[in-house]
Amino acid sequence: MHINLPLELSMPSSPAVFRCVMIGVGLALSGCATTIPEAQLHHYALLVPQDVTGNGAAVTEIDRGPNRMALQMTAEGSNILPGVRTRPGVNVLPGRHTIEVNVCYGGGARNCTPDTYVFEAQPGVAYVLRGPAQTIVMLDRFKKSPLGELYPAAQHAFISQQEWSAMRNDELAAAADAGLQVSAQRQRDLPMIRKVGAHVCQEAGRDIIYSGYVEKLTEDKVQIRIAEAHFKGNPSLRPGGFVPTTIWASPMQWDLCN
């Protein structure tokens, strides 16, 4: 089936009815399926694309490869979220899905860009897909009441508030553990760092490594002549504007250079 229709497509009046059509020039939608009786819609999730640019948006694919699903379009979804321009959505059975949404920027299908979303869909929930960097807003598809949000994570995945909090806590714990390991290593290396002539290094942020030599000592400080700087992972590449300098610092802020 190959029908060219504009994105302002007039959809059927019943939310239980859908069509398999061509949305916009060249945006082919996959397959057709039987009409979902309205009484059974509570078994399905509703995927609603936000029209971010005002030039059109449509769900164009669900689950690539052998698991690819026919799109079950519905009239439901337009203006489902107050103050947000949305398009008619697609019904999908519960489960984890990979959804592709084409967002258009004017001038026909050549200016449409696919966005990918991966998340666990729940029955009776409407998901407003607002862009890969934005949260997915969840609503009761019948009452239109808010149910929370899904948060962007890695590899196009979106996760719940609880999962996001757990992931963030794990990251903070890992960072704290790494910091403790660095501190413990510096404590072990302290006798070597507190020697005149010791070759010491310090990582600034995530990009630059400073290196120099210990010149003088006090009870709690070392004087370091910072002789050079280079980008992490590429010792031959040096940041512009670096000038050798001499500083006093705590030996616990520096590491022995490898």
Helix (H, G, I), strand (E, B) or coil at 38: helix
Q: What is the pLDDT of residues 171-206, one digit of tens each?
A: 888 888 888 888 899 999 999 999 999 999 999 877
Among the listed residues 80, 93, 67, the one whose alpha carbon sits nearest the alpha carbon of residue 136:
80
Q: What is the pLDDT of residues 43-68, one digit of tens each?
A: 999 999 999 888 889 999 999 888 88
DSSP codes joined into one string, 175-203:
HHHHHHHHHHHHHHHHHHHTSTT-EEEEE
pTM for the whole structure: 0.59
Residue 145 half-sphere exposure, CB side, CA atoms within 13 Å?
Answer: 1
In the chain, the domains with their CATH numbers are 38-161 (2.60.40), 191-258 (2.30.30)
CB of 15 closer than 8 Å to CB of 38: yes
Q: What is the pLDDT of residues 204-249, one digit of tens each?
A: 877 899 999 999 999 999 999 999 999 988 888 888 889 999 999 9
